Amino acid sequence: MTDHHHQSTRGEPRVALVTCADLADLDPDDRLVLGPLAERGVTAEPAVWDDPGVNWAGYDLVVLRSPWDYALRRDEFVTWAATVPALVNPADVVRWNTDKRYLGELSAAGAPVVPTSWVTPGESWQPPADHGEYVIKPAVSAGSQDTGRYDLADPEHRELAKAHVRRLSTAGRVTMVQPYLDAVDTAGETALLFLAGPDGLAFSHAIRKGPMLDGPDLGVQGLYKAEEIGPRTATPEQLAVAERVLAAVPGGRERLLYARVDLIPGPGGTPVLVELELTEPSLFIGYADGAPDRLAGAIVARLR
């Protein structure tokens, strides 16, 4: 048998595309980059992040892609990331970005962010009195897991919301509470995808995600909730908000191989940030002409 994890000394550079055991052959969208990388003389292969048999030092570059089972083991995942040479995005970005309390830092830096309050484990919480709709989710999560939408005018929903926060708190998890922005029901969510280019991180393409939260959290089967995706043309206003968000990334945006900026129209229609995905975002490269090539080019440039 050949050793698939030997050090690359001569010949083709070797790249690991980091995934999880449930997606050991990669997410179908990520597989689209394999051909363009091979055309550029790069051997890329999936590698499961918590597989003890992987020699991470044997790769010239380690690219985080779909390690989507980390949310309940974030400490283990962050510790692992710190041990991996040539990881992108870098381990300190992973540490910062896998806890959504980063939204508070971005807001403080002047980026328009969905208003968010936080409930730490052991803290008592009462639903807001304004009877609007709210979203409740953990500060560490992936794939809309443990996320619910509650109409606080409904007494049953108020009780379910309190139970949801209690459940997260009992599990030692920080809860985030945000107003539900109903523009998502019509406009959907816009994800702006940025990939490293010759002059640094540059806008690549955008997609529309349909509304996903239709009620209280009743549990998600699998790694993530299925999404309704389509291509979208980004507006100048959305791009301007994304640039403000990326300008506030600790350590600078130039270190990033990719970034995804998720926006929803806020009150008055101005785009506000829902999430900044720098760790393991779906990049939706199958929805834009040339995007697999652009991602391959970004990886190759990082190898040099």
Q: Give the DSSP letter string of the chain.
A: ---TT----SSS-EEEEEE-GGGTT--HHHHTTHHHHHHTT-EEEEEETT-TT--GGG-SEEEEEE-TT-GGGHHHHHHHHHH-TTEES-HHHHHHHTSTTHHHHHHHTT--B---EEE-TT------TT--EEEEEESS-STTTT-EEEETTSHHHHHHHHHHHHHHHHTT--EEEEE--TTHHHH-EEEEEEEEETTEEEEEEEEEE-----SS----SSSS----EEEEPPPHHHHHHHHHHHHTSTT-GGG-SEEEEEEEE-GGG-EEEEEEE-SS----GGGSTTHHHHHHHHHHHHH-
- Give the pLDDT of residue 129: 86
Q: Poorest-confidence range of 168-182, 222-236, 237-251, 273-287?
A: 222-236
- Give the pLDDT of residue 11: 76
Residue 215 has pLDDT above 80, yes or no: no
Label residue 3 by pLDDT band (50, 70, 90): very low
Residue 5 has pLDDT above 50, yes or no: no
- Give the pLDDT of residue 225: 54
Using an 8 Å Cβ cutoff, are 102 and 140 in contact?
A: no
Label residue 9 by pLDDT band (50, 70, 90): very low
- Sheet of 175-179: strand order equals 117-119, 175-179, 133-138, 148-151
Q: How far apart are CA 214 and CA 2, in angstroms?
A: 49
Alpha carbon 130 to its chain's center:
30
> Any residues with CB less than 8 A from the CB of 141 and at least 6 apart, and which?
71, 100, 147
What is the pLDDT of the chain when averaged over all its residues? 91
Q: In percent, how much of the chain has pLDDT > 90?
A: 79
- Tens of pLDDT, residues 127-146: 988 879 999 999 998 767 78
Q: In percent, how much of the chain has pLDDT > 70?
A: 91
Q: Which amino acid is at 31?
A: R
Average pLDDT over residues 89-112: 96
Using an 8 Å Cβ cutoff, are 136 and 217 in contact?
A: yes
* 111-115-121-125 Cα dihedral, nearest 10 degrees: 160
Residue 33 has pLDDT above 90, yes or no: yes
Average pLDDT over residues 107-119: 95
Residue 79 has pLDDT above 50, yes or no: yes
3-state class percentages of the chain: helix first, strand second, coil last, to nearest 5: 30, 25, 45
- Give the pLDDT of residue 222: 58
Residue 214 has pLDDT above 50, yes or no: yes
- Tens of pLDDT, residues 180-196: 888 888 899 999 999 99
